Structure 1
């Protein structure tokens, strides 16, 4: 049988998302790229085919999928395009805006300070931010909000109006604005997703630690875990790997979309606050290290981030009896969603699984019972409900069956 020519090989590499970085000759550069891009175990063909179908149907521009156990990565695959106009393929190290997948990382930062005795989950936030002492309901009733309320979205804190939400240059400035907004309901009586709550928690981390939140997160979580591409502020070189965001039109086409949280700024601009509610960029591989640390009860590769006790509290229901979440059967932990009754998009997860999704379709679930974490990276702006998208459902179903 004759060997395939270069054109055939290039076509095959393009389909695999590798050819854009592959050249022939020069001492086997192509073979080195191929070796570097191979996951630690074979791809899960069913996952790849499911994502490929969504790309062909123009449901998404592309996706990076990852499945791991506590010990290793079992599946890592890139399908589709980082840029539709130039037909630039997604790579396994493409960077995504992970939006609200930032929230569990904020919760872990809080738990680190709780573990050190510097914070208490059930203490009023005014103990740490005196400017919050005046928070009250519309009728003037004082609102006693705790850190636990902030991180379970039961605080009642309202969002800032219009374009004010991300106009602050730092979290301290944002918190001073939050302190002037009326609380919507008695804390703990209801669940309502609150971006201001999470950013207030991060401001408390700053106040107690004495470090800007982005610095604290980088020094205490990202660097120790080897998460080299997880940041609020991309470098110029990282920005070259950022997958573009798209929205689906009524005609079934994909058109480029902006990242609203940036407020018109570039991902590389630093004159904006480190939005703890959803400002991080990351890769599937990076986030898997965070997820595997939690799956391993706070430790990864000999580095301990949290004690097993703290991980247990982080991932234990903390929202009381109120109904929570964007899909049924869930409750809330310390900055993360917890599956109580698997159904619909979560049907293939075990009770007690936890994680978080992002506005543009990203998702990470940690399933301690099955010893698995599942990570989906994609950039689609206008899913009717990103938490219940068919893309997430198919990924979860195929990944769980394959692993």
Structure 2
């Protein structure tokens, strides 16, 4: 029998414990429970204790209002610098949505079309063939701009490729991991390596967005960093979303734990302390750094239908189109990044239904993440943005799902 003597009694039954009473009577902020948002701190402390990361920053906004923006733990291995709201993180693949939005801006202007073959701007890729067990085969159709946006091009990331293609990617330094590589030379080398599958056959996460960035440079006639700054990061005031960390920003750079087995190799290949724009291609799929507040501003234009603070970036129809599933009829899955239950749109994983996912959300919500441990979710049904910043590559899937559980567990009034 449960002992009740320590709880106050009123007529008709038990009086709620004081903490429960406060939770029941608390004032919600845009549907979020302050007491439930308090769960972030102990959850982050547990992850720090287990070595997932040294610290993190969590940001949640709903209906355009930031309801939670907190930093946890430390920024550095020495644990001398507390994590701050404006700490800077390697975004890795959270660069991809920025490049994808820039591409759709050019589409809206009529400067390119999703159905256009990419060889119109990249003749270096005109002689591509497809690797098969029976030998190399010609392309059944050209690679299109849409293929680059939805990762159905036949390109790969070397580490996930068939052995022959993996070795060729490494030999030719396609991903510029070993040393800088100019964009024109990268495309020339890439044009000598077979595709892993026929264009449009399947989703396969890849360097497609890096190639897209080089394509945008040729279409727009300007370098990718300048293109994104003039169209997205500059107008949005994303002052710390850049391609390399200068001396002024360096003290705010968050570190991953030395114990993370992926840290050393990834740090050597990212080289974000060097300005390589003069001698290496800018990776439209992985190259940028930024802060939680900056990335929230970018996400807000997507949840708000393409506009933010009086400026329009894309039309609502284009946003809806980007966040639709473009994998219908194709093989492959983005589950390694999103978990099950997601398809892929033009730059984002897209939730297909209420069920199947391993974390809550809404049908049509969009998300993506970075290899260093950052992630975001955009839930247009709830007018919700969540941004999570951490540097812990080996635990990135675990922590991005934990973040989503904490976000949706704190949303108690869906409006």
Q: How high is the TM-score relative to the length of structure 1?
A: 0.82
Residue 322 of structure 2 is aligned with which of 314, 317, 328? Answer: 314
- Given that 2:307 and 2:313 are in contact with CA atoms closer than 8 Å, whether structure 1 keeps it comes out as yes
Task: Give the aligned partner of residue 76 of structure 1.
Answer: 69
Report the Cα offset of residue 374 of structure 1: 0.9
- Aligned with 2:138: secondary structure? coil
Higher deviation after alignment, 268-277 or 310-319: 268-277
Query: What do residues 362-386 of structure 1 show as CA deviations (whole Å, max 9, x unaligned)?
Result: 1111000111011111101223xx3
- Given that 1:246 and 1:256 are in contact with CA atoms closer than 8 Å, whether structure 2 keeps it comes out as no
Task: Give the aligned partner of residue 22 of structure 1.
Answer: none
Query: What do residues 216-261 of structure 1 show as CA deviations (whole Å, max 9, x unaligned)?
Result: 011110011110110112221112110012254xxxxx68934626
Kindly report which structure 2 residues correspond to 1:236-247, keeping only aligned pairs within 5 A, or say none.
Answer: 236-246=247-257
Show structure 1 runs of 5+ residues with no match: 1-40, 249-253
1:400 aligns with 2:411: no
Report the Cα offset of residue 63 of structure 1: 0.7
Task: Give the aligned partner of residue 165 of structure 2.
Answer: none
Residue 147 of structure 1 is aligned with which of 142, 145, 155? Answer: 145
Task: Give the aligned partner of residue 303 of structure 1.
Answer: 311
Q: Counterparts of 1:168 and 1:342 in 2: how far apart (Å)?
A: 44
Task: Give the aligned partner of residue 175 of structure 2.
Answer: 165
Report the Cα offset of residue 293 of structure 1: 0.8
- Given that 1:245 and 1:380 are in contact with CA atoms closer than 8 Å, whether structure 2 keeps it comes out as yes
Query: What do residues 109-159 of structure 1 show as CA deviations (whole Å, max 9, x unaligned)?
Result: 110000000111111111222222111113231351111111111111144
Report the Cα offset of residue 355 of structure 1: 1.9
1:61 aligns with 2:54: yes
Task: Give the aligned partner of residue 217 of structure 1.
Answer: 228
Q: Counterparts of 1:212 and 1:258 in 2: how far apart (Å)?
A: 29
- Aligned with 1:89: secondary structure? coil
**Change in CA separation of 1:264 and 1:355 when aligned onto 2, cut-off 3 Å:** closer
Task: Give the aligned partner of residue 129 of structure 1.
Answer: 122
Residue 280 of structure 2 is aligned with which of 272, 293, 296? Answer: 272
CA RMSD after TM alignment: 2.2
- Given that 2:142 and 2:199 are in contact with CA atoms closer than 8 Å, whether structure 1 keeps it comes out as yes
Larger Rg: 2
Task: Give the aligned partner of residue 52 of structure 1.
Answer: 45
Report the Cα offset of residue 392 of structure 1: 2.0
Query: What do residues 307-333 of structure 1 show as CA deviations (whole Å, max 9, x unaligned)?
Result: 112111211111223331112111111
Report the Cα offset of residue 266 of structure 1: 4.7
Q: Counterparts of 1:173 and 1:214 in 2: how far apart (Å)?
A: 19
Show structure 2 runs of 5+ residues with no match: 1-32, 159-168
- Given that 1:171 and 1:202 are in contact with CA atoms closer than 8 Å, whether structure 2 keeps it comes out as no
Kindly report which structure 2 residues correspond to 1:90-105, keeping only aligned pairs within 5 A, or say none.
Answer: 90-105=83-98
- Given that 1:70 and 1:292 are in contact with CA atoms closer than 8 Å, whether structure 2 keeps it comes out as no
Task: Give the aligned partner of residue 369 of structure 1.
Answer: 381
Q: How high is the TM-score relative to the length of structure 2?
A: 0.80
Report the Cα offset of residue 263 of structure 1: 2.8
Q: Counterparts of 1:200 and 1:220 in 2: how far apart (Å)?
A: 19
- Aligned with 1:288: secondary structure? helix
- Aligned with 2:130: secondary structure? coil
Q: Counterparts of 2:127 and 2:267 in 1: how far apart (Å)?
A: 28
Q: Counterparts of 2:239 and 2:284 in 1: how far apart (Å)?
A: 18
Report the Cα offset of residue 190 of structure 1: 1.6
Higher deviation after alignment, 279-288 or 347-356: 347-356
Report the Cα offset of residue 177 of structure 1: 2.0
Task: Give the aligned partner of residue 381 of structure 1.
Answer: 393
1:203 aligns with 2:211: no
Q: Counterparts of 2:185 and 2:268 in 1: how far apart (Å)?
A: 16
Q: Counterparts of 1:204 and 1:235 in 2: how far apart (Å)?
A: 27
Report the Cα offset of residue 171 of structure 1: 2.8
- Given that 1:171 and 1:199 are in contact with CA atoms closer than 8 Å, whether structure 2 keeps it comes out as no
Q: Counterparts of 2:188 and 2:354 in 1: how far apart (Å)?
A: 39
**Change in CA separation of 1:176 and 1:69 when aligned onto 2, cut-off 3 Å:** farther
Kindly report which structure 2 residues correspond to 1:14-29, keeping only aligned pairs within 5 A, or say none.
Answer: none
**Change in CA separation of 1:346 and 1:110 when aligned onto 2, cut-off 3 Å:** farther
